[in-house]
């Protein structure tokens, strides 16, 4: 099967951004690469059916988010840790707030991490997140609330120069 040159251009242009999105969503580069690969395979199969190329990135990101949530539905009891026990050498990890925040984000349950990433990294509304993940708007709001509570308790606001609350793009306090 021959590949459409527009599909190849899309992958070349947006591949790195999709990997970054996958990394933030999944929490590690290996799962991110798997998410991107699976999503691009599905995009390739649907490429001719897409109405416009502008929809391609939204389609891929939706596939990635749904694939990610399907994985946590299957492995709800899996315990994710930052340190790998078999590894004798760890790469340099950024220090300070970024490291603390990354560890706190990685410590969230997969569903909570997904809604936080979609809201604050992708800047999606509750309705868009609910549609992407196939959950209700109320579930989105409760998962974000729980995730932010966990992040606030894991990352002390004092001494880091950050405020203790997060405001949504609509201006309401969370």
Per domain, the residue ranges of the chain are 1-75, 90-160
pLDDT of residue 70: 82
Q: What per-residue confidence (pLDDT) applies to 87?
A: 56
Written out in words, the top-level CATH class of the domain with range 1-75 is: mainly alpha
Q: What does the DSSP assignment read for 61-125?
A: HHHHHHHHHHHHHHTTT----SS-TT-S-------THHHHHHHHHHTS-HHHHHHHIIIIIS---
Report pTM: 0.49
| Straight-line distance from the first to the last Cα atom of the chain, in angstroms, rounded to the nearest whole number | 50
CATH for the 90-160 domain, from 1.10.357.10, 3.40.50.150, 3.30.565.10, 1.10.10.10:
1.10.10.10
Mean pLDDT by 10 residues, the chain (174 residues): 80 93 91 93 87 79 89 63 62 61 88 93 91 93 94 68 44 42
> Which pLDDT score, from 0 to 100, does residue 14 have?
92
Predicted pLDDT at 80: 64
pLDDT of residue 84: 63
């Amino acid at each position: 099967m021959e590949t459409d040159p527009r599909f190849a251009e899309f992958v070349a242009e947006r591949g790195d951004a999709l990997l970054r999105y996958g990394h933030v969503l999944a929490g590690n580069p290996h799962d991110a690469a798997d998410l991107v690969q699976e999503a691009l395979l599905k995009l390739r199969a649907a490429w001719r059916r897409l109405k416009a190329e502008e929809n391609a990135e939204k389609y891929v990101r939706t596939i990635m988010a749904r694939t990610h949530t399907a994985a946590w539905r299957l492995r709800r009891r899996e315990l994710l840790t930052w340190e790998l026990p078999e590894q004798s050498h760890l790469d340099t990890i950024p220090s300070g707030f970024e490291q603390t925040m990354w560890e706190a984000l990685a410590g969230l349950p997969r569903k909570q991490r997904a809604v936080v990433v979609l809201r604050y990294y992708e800047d999606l509304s509750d309705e868009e997140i609910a549609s992407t993940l196939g959950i209700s708007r109320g579930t989105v709001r409760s998962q974000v609330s729980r995730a932010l509570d966990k992040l606030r308790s894991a990352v002390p606001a004092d001494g880091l120069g950050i405020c203790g609350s997060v405001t949504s793009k609509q201006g309401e306090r969370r």
